[in-house]
Structures are given as structure tokens and as C-alpha cells.
Amino acid sequence: MAQDPFRFSERLKGIRPSGIRKFFELGLSMKNPIDLSIGQAHFDAPDVVKQAAQKAIAEGRNRYTVTQGIPELREALRARYAARFGDISGEDIMVTCGVSGGLMLSFLAMLNPGDEILIPDPYFIMYKHLATMVGASTATYDIYPDFRPTAERVRARITPRTRLIIVNSPSNPTGYAMTPDEAKGLAKLSDETGIPLVSDEIYEDFMFAPRHVSPREFTRNCIVLSGASKSLGMPGWRIGWMLAPRELSEKMYSLQQFSFVCAPAPLQWGALAGMGLDFSAHRQDYLRKRDLVFEGLRENYRAVKPTGSFYLFPELPNGMEMERFIEACIKRELLLVPGTACSDRATHFRLCFAASDEKLHKAVAILNEIAVQIKK
């Protein structure tokens, strides 16, 4: 018998297909799904952004850019972060292939096999698997039931192997946005322990609280990751960016040269055209959608009211198991993400309210119908 020619790496044993993408693919096979599973804004990229990308293509800006991104976009981002954080002279901006690209570069640059990262529970699933890819492991700090990422909760989980603390605000999947006191506490903890923070801020424009707060406001021991995917309605363009201490970002240039090479050239010009756009109308629209869903479900579902992003993370109806709940939703062509895809617990589910009002009203009706049936 011929030997199987494919020998898979050990790291693949720790990588499972995304439970979230599974429901996205399921939706493609349905005729009329109410798909509230995938995390992307429901609006398209603005015309000015698309036109700038098209213009760049027509003008032949289709070759490699410098690894760290076109200077014009980096300067616009530098001005944006200087306005927020003050002196950033010791730091640098790098354009990445989405926030996921920035996470991968950060992990490659700072983690060795056997190292550990701390992530919140609930969490964005990619954190775990990217750590596995570089030979590191993950430990969680529990933020149930209020989803607050406090320094006390993180400190209790630090071990001698801890090398990075991951924070995500506004959060996927909970919709929670940290307060200034929480950000200060995490910054102080990072300074005391010397463990850097990696702050995933991709939903920073989707804020319902007074303002977005970054731990970087209170410490330089922080890598900030964000991008244009959500707020400019272009997740498929893969344009992200990173603010990091220069000695670290310069190492990441080399890593990007030999991996992603550079972010897509014409699309960097498109993102640049979107830097100064007013997001307030979208923010108000999503605030209204949040209230539509939260108020529509509150009689039958317990949930923490989101202060950012476009997710709600309610508890399952009393007495209902996750598998049975998801099956009941799929039977009605409603697609949600089971909490087990983004948590060590099987008690909640993620609902993305980046959808039309019509679909949200239908989803609320279906979920209430399921909850009422359970009570009978």
C-alpha cells in the first residue's frame, strides 16, 4: 500500500474550523436565511472609497507598496493617533492585512513555543488559533456575567509563562466597551508586570457609550490594532493597521515582507479616501438597531446591553441546551452563533444586529417564539 504523501504538522491538531464561518457557509445554502451569524457591517463601502480604489487601479498603482504601507495612509493614521494619544514619536504605524494580519505579526514577533497569552472569555475565536499556530497556548480570564475586563480578573490568571494580555473593546462577541477606569486599571497592570497589552479596537467607531477608550491612553506598553473593515464596510479588502513601539514594528516589517508582503496596494488608496468620513449616521442607525433587538428580547432573554460593536450576547432560555436551541433556530432559517464557538461556556449565543430592520424584527419574533415554547 502506498504511503500517504501528505504529512500534516503538529500545530494542525489544535486548529478547528471556525464555528462562525460554519454558519456563514450554511446561510449560503439556504434560500431565505435570516443570517445574523457573520460579523460584518450591513452597509457597502462608500462611493468615494470605491472610486479612489478604482482610480488607483486605473492609474497603475497595482504593484507592491513598501511593506509598512503607503506613506500617505500611514501619515493620516499617525495624525489620527497623535490627536488621541499625544506624543507617539517612539512608535510607528504599519498597514497590515486586516487586524488578523496584525495579530499574526504580533504573535510571531513576541511569542515563543510554550509561551502563554491571556484572552477574555468570551473571546474572538481567532486569538486562540493564531497562538496555536506559533506554538503558544492560551488561558482565559473570565469576564462573565457583566463582561467587564477588569485588571483584577486579568491579574488572577497571570502565570510565569504569560507574555501577552489580549483586550478587545468594543468586544466581539459581547458588545461591551471598556470604561476609562477599566482601561486605566489594565494599563497599570501592564506597567507593573511588564506584560504588553494587545488592544483589538476594530469596532472603535461603533460606540454607543460616550466615547471609545483605549488602554494606550494610559500606557505605552500597548500595541493598538484596528482597521477599515468594519467602519468602511469593506471586510473583504483586508486593510488593517497597527500602532506599536518602533523597535517592535521594525521587526514586524521583516515578518510581513516574508509573509503577507504588503496590504493590497489599490485598496490602501481606497482606505485613505475614507479616513475623514463622518460615521455618525451609521452609528445612530446601529444604536437604533441595538435597541430594537435588546428591547424586543428582554422579556424572554437576559442580556447585557451593548455599549459598542454590533453584537448582542444573550443567555439561552432557561432549561434549553445549546444544540437544541441552535437546531430550533436553523429549522426557522435563523442563523446565530452558539456561545461554544467563542467561549468555554455553553450558556449564551451571539447575535449580530448588522442587518436590515426587517430581518431583525423577524429574528426577534422567532427567538421569542422559541423561548415561549420552552416555558410551556
Q: What is the pLDDT of residue 230?
A: 96
* 71 within some domain: yes
pLDDT tens string 128-154: 999 999 999 999 999 999 999 999 999
The answer on 268 and 285 residing in a single domain is no
Task: Determine, yes or no, domain membership for 261.
Answer: yes
Say if 112 falls within a structural domain. yes
Domain extent for 313? 10-45+279-375
Asked whether the predicted pLDDT for residue 376 surpasses 70, the reply is no
In a domain, 56, yes or no: no
Has residue 201 been placed in a domain? yes
14 CB-near residues (< 8 Å, 6+ apart): 129, 132
Q: What is the distance between the alpha carbons of residues 174 and 351, in angstroms, rounded to a whole number?
A: 9
d(CA 234, CA 231): 8
* Residue 297 to residue 71: CA distance in whole angstroms: 47
Instruction: Give the Cα separation of 201 and 192 in Å (integer).
Output: 23
Which of 273, 298, 325 terminates a domain? The answer is 273
In a domain, 52, yes or no: no
299 plus 371 within the same structural domain:
yes
pTM for the full predicted model: 0.93
CATH number at residue 39: 3.90.1150.10
Alpha helices in 258-340 (DSSP H): 265-273, 280-297, 322-331
Buried b (16+ CB within 10 A) or exposed e, 308-321: bbbbbbbbbbeebe
Over residues 353-363, mean pLDDT: 98
Strands 337-338 and 349-352 come out as antiparallel
The number of domains in the chain is 2
127 and 244, same domain (yes or no): yes
- The last residue of one of the domains, among 221, 253, 273, is 273
Encode pLDDT of 198-248 as tens digits: 999 999 999 998 999 999 999 999 999 999 999 999 999 999 999 999 999
Whether pLDDT at 8 is above 90: no
Element at 116 (helix H, strand E): strand 116-121
Per-residue confidence (pLDDT) for residue 52, from 0 to 100: 98
pLDDT (mean) for 167-184: 98
Last residue of some domain: 250, 273, 296? 273
Residue 239, domain CATH: 3.40.640.10
Enter the C-alpha cell of residue 340. Answer: 461554544
Helices (H), the chain: 19-28, 47-58, 71-85, 98-110, 126-133, 151-155, 180-193, 246-257, 265-273, 280-297, 322-331, 357-375
pLDDT greater than 80 at residue 19: no
**pLDDT tens for residues 310-355?**
999 999 998 789 999 999 999 999 999 999 999 999 999 999 999 9
